[in-house]
């Protein structure tokens, strides 16, 4: 291992998620934050979803990055600090290494264990890149430490994960990115609104991987809370909310049931829903407006021939 290269794993998220989960479950309309979708099994299920032919965002984004890589390199510049938000298996960022030639690669994700393995694998292949991985719940607050190289920072936020935030949260995160880019920029993937049949196939796929991904959140919650959710008492439900331009994921109780955990319980009537995820779909105009409101003065946009997805460099 070269001396210039460091592997740093921040303290794993040690604080308890119990109060946050309880608040969602005890609310009149129950909800669970989508970040709990990404336990080790959920992260692997999501990786499998991205391989589905019906899940168009991943491959469409990949095609755009491939098609316009020269223009993207011109916009972003080479040799800087690549900060990967929601890095997962780090494969998307890796696909940019050859073109962007980063000096530093900072992988950030909620699930630090999953990230750790991916980084270990990458650092043997790219000894010239200093790598760090950080476990952080940046949905709450994004804090890039001063120890991270401040030269030519590019935040990389692919996959339209920004769509999983409601507008105010998305704006807050984008403002934090803008402030901590220190004159650098943001390379972001954004899913665009499209016809219902394409969206339904992507979020209610025939192999039922998205159903498993969604239902697994109950096991993830059981692990945090010590609750006794039973996966087979719920089903995966997808709705398309046209006025709010988003796909909505829920779990529907298949019977009257009670879920219990230390000191609390929650009853669900047959048909009652637990909200688990929003996936907002933007228009070019709405994403430009959001980025402008976050303080980004200029945007360059690349799309696919169907206008399904956009890759944007904002600074
Ligand atoms: C991570 N995120 C952008 C995915 C999406 O499309 O909103 C999560 C997902 N949910 C169901 N399928 C994929």
Q: Which of 74, 116, 67, 75 lies closest to 95, judged by CA? A: 67
- For atom 5 of ligand 1, the residue with the nearest CA is 279
E-assigned strands of the chain?
Answer: 81-85, 104-109, 130-135, 153-157, 185-191, 234-241, 246-253, 257-261, 264-268, 273-280, 299-303, 309-314
Mean pLDDT of all residues in 80-102: 95
Check pLDDT > 50 for residue 9: no
3-class SS of residue 168: helix
Ligand 1 pocket, mutate which of 52, 203, 217 (most atoms under 8 A from CB)? 203
C-alpha pair distances (Å), 233 with each of 195, 230, 238, 251: 31, 6, 17, 9
Q: How far is the CA of 279 from the centre of ligand 1 (A)?
A: 6
CB atoms near residue 197 (< 10 Å): 8
pTM of the model: 0.93
Q: Which helix H or strand E contains 220, and what residues bound it?
A: helix 209-225
Q: pLDDT, tens digit, for every residue of 272-292?
A: 999 999 999 999 999 999 999
CA distance 40 to 113: 8
Q: Is the pLDDT of residue 312 over 90?
A: yes
User: From the CB of 203, is ligand 1 less than 6 Å away?
Assistant: yes
Q: What is the pLDDT of residue 14?
A: 45
Question: Smallest Cα–Cα separation from 192: which of 117, 282, 85?
Answer: 282
Looking at residue 67, its pLDDT comes to 98
CA dihedral over 74, 76, 79, 84, signed as positive or negative: negative
Let me know: does 121 contact 94? Beta carbons within 8 Å.
no
- Ligand 1 binding pocket includes 210 (Cβ within 6 Å): yes
Return the pLDDT at 15.
62
pLDDT at 11 over 50: no
Extract the tokens encoding 102.
Answer: 């980063």
Report the percentage of the chain scoring pLDDT > 70: 95
**Tell me: the pLDDT tens digits for 124-164?**
999 999 999 998 989 889 999 988 999 899 999 999 999 99
pLDDT, tens digit (0-9, with 9 covering 90-100), for 244-253: 999 999 999 9
Percent of the chain predicted with pLDDT > 90: 85
């Amino acid at each position: 291992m070269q001396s210039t290269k460091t592997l740093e794993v921040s303290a794993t998220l040690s604080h308890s998620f119990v109060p946050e989960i309880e608040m969602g479950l005890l609310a009149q309309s129950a909800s669970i934050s989508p970040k709990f979708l990404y336990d080790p099994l959920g992260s692997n299920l999501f990786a499998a979803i991205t391989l589905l032919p019906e899940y168009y965002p991943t491959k469409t984004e990949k095609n755009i990055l491939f098609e316009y890589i020269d223009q993207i390199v011109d916009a972003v510049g080479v040799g800087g600090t690549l900060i990967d938000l929601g890095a997962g298996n780090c494969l998307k960022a890796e696909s940019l290494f050859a073109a962007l030639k980063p000096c530093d690669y900072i992988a950030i994700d909620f699930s630090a264990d999953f990230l750790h393995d991916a980084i270990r694998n990458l650092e043997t292949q790219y000894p010239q890149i200093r790598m760090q991985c950080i476990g952080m719940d940046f949905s709450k607050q994004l804090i890039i430490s001063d120890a991270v190289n401040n030269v030519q920072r590019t935040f990389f936020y692919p996959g339209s994960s920004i769509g999983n935030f409601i507008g105010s949260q998305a704006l807050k995160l984008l403002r934090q990115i803008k402030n901590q880019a220190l004159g650098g920029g943001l390379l972001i993937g954004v899913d665009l609104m499209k016809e219902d049949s394409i969206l339904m196939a992507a979020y209610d796929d025939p192999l039922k991987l998205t159903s498993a991904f969604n239902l697994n959140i109950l096991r993830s919650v059981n692990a945090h809370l010590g609750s006794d959710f039973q996966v087979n008492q719920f089903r995966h439900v997808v709705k398309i909310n046209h006025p709010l331009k988003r796909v909505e994921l829920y779990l529907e109780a298949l019977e009257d049931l009670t879920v219990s955990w230390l000191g609390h319980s929650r009853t669900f009537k047959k048909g009652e829903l637990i909200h688990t995820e929003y996936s907002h779909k933007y228009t070019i105009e709405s994403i430009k407006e959001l980025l402008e409101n976050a303080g980004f003065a200029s945007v360059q946009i690349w799309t696919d021939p169907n206008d399904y997805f956009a890759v944007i460099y904002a600074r």
